[in-house]
Structure 1
Amino acid sequence: MNGGPQIVGIFEHPTRLAPDKTVAQLHAEAARGALQDAGLTKDVVDGYFCSGDAPGGALSMANYLNLNLRHIDTLDIGGSSAVAQVAQACAAIEMGKCNVALITQAGRPKSAGVTTGTKKIIKDGAAPDVIWELPYAVPNVANYALVAARHFYEFGTTSEQLAWVRVAASHHAQHNPEAVLRKVVTVDDVLQSPLISDPLHRLDCCLITDGGGAIVVARNEIAASLGRPAIRLRGAGMGLKHQEAGAIDLTYSAAVQSGKEAFLRAGVSAADIRYASIYDSFTITVIIQLEDLGFCPKGKGGAFVADGNLIANVGRLAVNTDGGGLCNNHPANRGGITKVIEAVRQLREEAHPAVQVKNCELACVQATGGHMATRHASSTLILERV
């Protein structure tokens, strides 16, 4: 997409606990931060993208933010929504539907008392298959424990290998003043933390945080006038995986589809990527996605992440250099937007010096939304500094 739309503004809300703010207020504060980062005002925004975390949807939020819009989009595919909406914003701009697109995400699960991994994934009337799932009251952590257990059985993956994902995240988080958990942990620390749902330990689970983030995408001509580093979308893909009438294989995700499409459109391969933002709801989530994106063969993800291979300037592939959802931030239980934000920081060379990837020109952003053992979507972006 040379000459195409650019990401010109990003903002990650600094709060991780917001008992004194509304969700709408968090959206607004994130929007203001991203627009300030871009050097723009809300008056130039004519496209708005939000998801299920936006109270009242786009109609209410557009009114609350006092936006004069020509285009709105309310795609909701869980934690991958904001990632997909970057590609949709670029497409909308190229189709002439808007010139400056704003994407926001925010929530207050921490203030609401949601506990890691125990929230039921089903609600009355939430989905056609709810009547079959309701009796089992499946929590998130059990869902992902199933995936981990199957990966262990099929490929010999170990708890020690999963732990390395958390270890890498902690090495990065120590340099992030906004991160919730900045203490560097060891593999033994992860294995000695309480077992939540076999084989997942507490330190295999992501954070629950308040907060949010926002992204601004602008037409090339507008972006060029702002004097910001040019961050463009080179390729994007989406995928969907569900229960397939019972033909369930828990060892792969919809990233198989979305990653293949994104890399094909970008004209590059996983071997060309030195930084990746990978959705990390649980440590097993990272391993599965790395395999599905082609960073390593299927079944070899455990070995790939071991021994610090995800630590910036140490291993082969720097992953989640802000500390990710495991250590930094997981706002609204939808971590996709923070993945885009950290990728843009890396491409702008604005990441912390200790974790900045040298000569970072390409970044992969990957997120899943939904639940990996049942039904989920996947969104993949290849971003480029030009």
Structure 2
Amino acid sequence: MADRFPRGRAAIAGLATFGVGETPGYSAMELTAAAATRAVADAGLTLADVDALFICQPDDFFAGLSFAEHLGLRPGYTDNNRTGGSAFMSHMAVAALMLDAGYIDCALIAYGSNQRSAGGKLATRITHNQWDAPYAPLFPITSYALAAARHMHDYGTTRAQLAAVALSARGWARTNEEAFARGPLTLDDCLSARIVSSPLSTRDCCLVTDGAAAIVMTRTDRARDLAKPPVPLLGAAAATWWNAIAQAQDVTVTAAKESGARAMAMAGIGASDLKLVQLYDAFTISTILFLEDLGFCAKGEGGPFVESGAIAPGGSLAVNTNGGGLSCCHPGMYGLFAIIEAARQIRGEAANPQPGIDVALAHGNGGTLSSQATVILGSMAAL
């Protein structure tokens, strides 16, 4: 399958974020449109150049249609794939294949949410699943808490090690002006925080913010002549093993093990070739699971790995260099922000620039550890 992917033949040509943090007075679609128009301008293009729209809004099941109408476009193709925070990595894979086939010429991938300003909540009662509902779990945190508890049982992972993920994220966020949470955070703050769903506390949970993000993709040979350095897509893969976590054979292993391996094979790299990784960190346990499943450490060793400071500023593996969903932003879904941070690092435009980054990984997660999707981005030198 790896030899069928058009490695490097499609690229990110433009990108933008908008309204990160708290931006009252905007609808979700208005935030999205603002990021989209900025991304198109960043590429040196106009909206008239866009002939394909990819979008996954939190509050609109017909978002592809609404987005086209809002922008005043008549695209030849729209995609409203809804797999949660992993959807945007899948959008990139589809766009790359369509661009390489000549079916489309310019794809706009966008997302936005006013979750914080609209009074949204991180956790709600599960009522849609008749098998889970009698136990009164919270969606989605109880499923992640189940994975964390099992990881603790099987591998001796501690709450202090979970806290190390939050502390590392805050360390990156402190020097990122776009990050919503930049204040001091200590280990004691994490360990004494209110438990939401045992063993996860409020400090193990992502933020609830507003914000929008967008990228523009076109063929790499065209992107060479546009306004910004292209960021080619070297590999992209997705995998889904379940919807409800109750269907998991092992709640400590996710489909990231599959999506990551396939994406890296397409790109022609291994985990040891990567020094910068952007992971969907809706909860602290997510980062540990994905580090293991993507091959950055062995299964069960994620706790000691993060506790060692490996993913914090100055560590051996730069993870979530903008602060991630735990400290930068999380407007309902974070996947597209992870992609943009990886691309910004490759373009040398990130708030916490890492030297010599020619290849980076961005990983998205949807549902309750349900849908996993991984993209490998590179510089022109990586082709």
TM-score range, shorter chain: over 0.9
Aligned residues: 372
1:126 corresponding residue in structure 2: none
Q: Does 1:170 align with 2:170?
A: yes
Q: Which amino acid aligns with 1:134?
A: A
Conserved 8 A contact 1:167-1:184:
no
Counterpart of 1:172 in 2: which secondary structure? Answer: helix
Gaps in structure 1 of 5+ consecutive residues = 124-129
Q: Of the candidates 55, 62, 72, which is equivalent to residue 78 of structure 2?
A: 72
Q: Of the candidates 1, 12, 17, which is equivalent to residue 17 of structure 2?
A: 12
CA distance 1:239–1:122, shift in 2 (3 Å): farther
2:295 corresponding residue in structure 1: 294
- CA RMSD across the alignment: 1.7
State the 1:306 CA deviation.
Answer: 1.2
Deviates more, 1:154-163 or 1:63-72: 63-72
1:349 corresponding residue in structure 2: 348
Counterpart of 1:196 in 2: which secondary structure? Answer: strand
Conserved 8 A contact 2:17-2:35:
yes
CA distance in 1, matches of 2:248, 2:182: 41
Counterpart of 2:175 in 1: which secondary structure? Answer: coil
**1:31-42 equivalence runs, <5 A:** 31-42=36-47
State the 1:221 CA deviation.
Answer: 3.2
CA distance 1:52–1:120, shift in 2 (3 Å): farther
CA distance in 1, matches of 2:69, 2:171: 42
Q: Does 1:180 align with 2:177?
A: no
CA distance 1:155–1:2, shift in 2 (3 Å): closer
Conserved 8 A contact 1:54-1:61:
no
2:223 corresponding residue in structure 1: 223
Deviates more, 1:58-67 or 1:166-175: 58-67
State the 1:23 CA deviation.
Answer: 1.4
1:323-374 deviation digits (Å, cap 9, x = unpaired) = 110011111x11101000100011111112xx311100110111110102xx
Counterpart of 1:131 in 2: which secondary structure? Answer: coil
State the 1:268 CA deviation.
Answer: 0.6
Conserved 8 A contact 1:46-1:101:
yes
CA distance 1:58–1:286, shift in 2 (3 Å): same
Counterpart of 1:10 in 2: which secondary structure? Answer: strand
Q: Does 1:379 align with 2:373?
A: yes
1:369 corresponding residue in structure 2: 366
Q: Which amino acid aligns with 1:362?
A: V
1:212-231 deviation digits (Å, cap 9, x = unpaired) = 11110012232111142121
Counterpart of 1:78 in 2: which secondary structure? Answer: coil
Conserved 8 A contact 2:19-2:210:
no
State the 1:3 CA deviation.
Answer: 5.5
Counterpart of 1:339 in 2: which secondary structure? Answer: helix
Q: Which amino acid aligns with 2:302?
A: G
Conserved 8 A contact 1:342-1:351:
yes
1:172-198 deviation digits (Å, cap 9, x = unpaired) = 111111211102322222112222222
State the 1:2 CA deviation.
Answer: 5.5
Deviates more, 1:27-36 or 1:288-297: 27-36
Q: Which amino acid aligns with 1:37?
A: D
Q: Does 1:27 align with 2:32?
A: yes
With the length of structure 1 as denominator, give the TM-score of the two structures. 0.92
Identity of aligned residues (%): 39
Q: Does 1:152 align with 2:152?
A: yes
CA distance in 2, matches of 1:343, 1:155: 31
1:84-108 deviation digits (Å, cap 9, x = unpaired) = 2112111111121211100111112
Conserved 8 A contact 1:180-1:329:
yes
